[in-house]
Amino acid sequence: MAGGGGGCVTLGGAQIRDLLDSKHNVLFDCDGVIWNGETAVTGAPEVVSLLKQRGKRVFFVTNNCTRPRENYVQKFSRLGFADVAEEEIFSSAYCSAAYLRDVARLQGKVYVIGCGGVMKELRDAGVPVAEEEDAEPGASIYTCPLDPDVKAVLVGYDENFTFMKLAKACCYLRSSECLFLATDPDPWHPLRGGRVTPGSGSLTAALETASSRKATVIGKPSCFMFDCIASQFGLDPARSLMIGDRLETDVLFGSNCGLTTVLTLTGVSTLQEALAFRDSQEPQQKHCAPDYVMESVADFLQALEE
């Protein structure tokens, strides 16, 4: 079953073997699925290695735009995942750069509300970035310089978000020719100790309100991330599995792209929320219901070790 309105079937035993036998490509979200912060989910490194040994193609799709792909490679290694290659990692920062270069074919600069991970991927892709100059004391939107070469605004996670950045972005978006992109729609992210941090989606919402425009979202649940992988590796959606912890992004992404979806319960979303989406009368909510539910990706171990 794939393509939305999943049945939330609890996976176990022979079902897991049958599911894996029917798929060639396995896409994992990262945080909440194979790790939580700086701790690998128990069994996750072994699952990834065994999938590859079984001849499966494994990819990692994350809306986290805070680090470039090379830093992800280091994190995988640090947490005990063997032989994860940079080309297997598709972050919203990398895909945003690919979109501006290959789809939009940007002729001009991009103004970025974001962090170092986004900047690095844009520069690696050869996309010109409008430099953010240090504001003069007493500077305001009345007096600050605006770059006439800006032809796109990209919003990502930014711990140094300011009113001035919001105001500048608004000014650029006054031109209907200026593209408006967001790395991802994530509203918030869980932190240790029960705290949360606002996500890219929160900053994008502020700019959408201020500019009366809607951003084109690059990350999950948009299909562009899958298109990005498929164009490089020739993936067949019907033979692909999406495993995530967030119903409104990971599962909806898989549903939008025609993939079979699995919700793991080691991250944000709960079984109760999944069942509520499944039983909803709203078609859009039904698309957020996973085909399958499992406690953890470690549940794959028994089937893979046989």
List the binding residues for Mg(2+): 29, 31, 245
Residue 209 DSSP SS3? helix
Instruction: Please state, in angstroms and rounded to a whole number, the distance separating the CA atoms of residues 169 and 213.
Output: 12
Q: How many residues belong to the chain?
A: 306
Tokens of 199: 């996500």
Which entry of 21, 31, 102, 149 is annotated as an active-site residue? 31
Inter-helix orientation angle 163-173/200-211, to 10°: 50
Q: Residue 134 catalytic?
A: no
> Residues marked as binding for substrate?
189, 220
H or E element that contains 244: strand 240-244
Centre a 10 Å sphere on the Cβ of residue 165 and count the other Cβ atoms it contains: 20
Residue 121: which residues within 8 A CB-CB, separation 6 or more? 68, 69, 91, 93, 94, 96, 97
For residue 262, the surrounding DSSP H or E stretch is strand 260-264
Closest Cα partner for 262 from 16, 22, 95, 90?
16
Q: Catalytic residue at 83?
A: no
User: For residue 253, what are its two tokens?
Assistant: 């992404």
Tokens coding 105: 């074919």
Catalytic residue, chosen from 21, 29, 134, 279, is 29
d(CA 154, CA 91): 15
Q: Active-site residue numbers?
A: 29, 31
